[in-house]
Amino acid sequence: MIQMPHRDQIIATIVFLALAMLLLFIRLLPLSEGIMGWPGPDLGLALILAWVLRRPDQLAAPVILLVVLIEDVLLLRPLGLWTAVVLIGSEAARAREPRWRDQPFMVEWLQVAMLIGLMMLGYRIVQILFVVPVAALGQVILQYLATVAAYPAVVFGARWLIGLRRIGHGEAA
């Protein structure tokens, strides 16, 4: 039988949607004068992975799908491709969360870095296979490095601002 979501899950979903839309709004602001510089980190991806690894019970897959699909539309990416990659990657992280729960943060950071790298590589390979225009490899590598470097700050910010902490053994379903 289908269970209704708890109050905590609804509040967490609303908070996540608000943060994701704020990050997307900031990403869409015209902050530069038309000069393309260093690519910034994908803070939305870092937030999704941090949330899934901290509280997998609070962030449902359809919410991730909705947020990344809206990003695809507004950022003019191939519709649904990055959404599928992020959904597969976040669900892989969710499936491995019980095994990663007791690991130190440095190990989690390394595992997330490998996951983000595989996600970006898979995205690029599919783009090349279907002859979709791809970004310059240097820009993609710089965005990967920026996203991996920003992950600890996202985790710390989520912990400090909204109290997002790891799920305890007693809370695990």
- Per residue in 154-165, pLDDT (tens digit) is 999 999 988 887
- Sign, Cα dihedral of 163, 164, 165, 167: positive
* Confidence (pLDDT) at 142: 94
Does 173 reside within a domain? no
Is 118 buried (19+), middle (13-18) or exposed (0-12) by CB count in 10 A? middle
The number of domains in the chain is 1
Does 147 reside within a domain? yes
> Tokens 């710390």 map to which residue?
156
* Confidence (pLDDT) at 165: 79
Does 1 reside within a domain? no
* Alpha helices in the chain, H assignment, sequence order: 7-28, 43-54, 61-74, 81-100, 105-129, 137-162
Query: What is the rounded distance in angstroms from the CA atom of residue 147 to the CA atom of residue 87?
Result: 17
| pLDDT greater than 60 at residue 84 | yes
Output 173 or 92, whichever has higher pLDDT: 92
Q: Which amino acid is at 91?
A: E
Does 169 reside within a domain? no
Mean pLDDT of 91-95: 93
Task: Give the N- to C-terminal CA distance of the chain in Å, as an integer.
Answer: 16
Does 167 reside within a domain? no
* Confidence (pLDDT) at 101: 83
Among the residue ranges 97-106, 113-122, 126-135, the one predicted with the least confidence is 97-106
| pLDDT greater than 80 at residue 152 | yes
Q: Which domain holds residue 54?
A: 7-29+37-162
Does 24 reside within a domain? yes
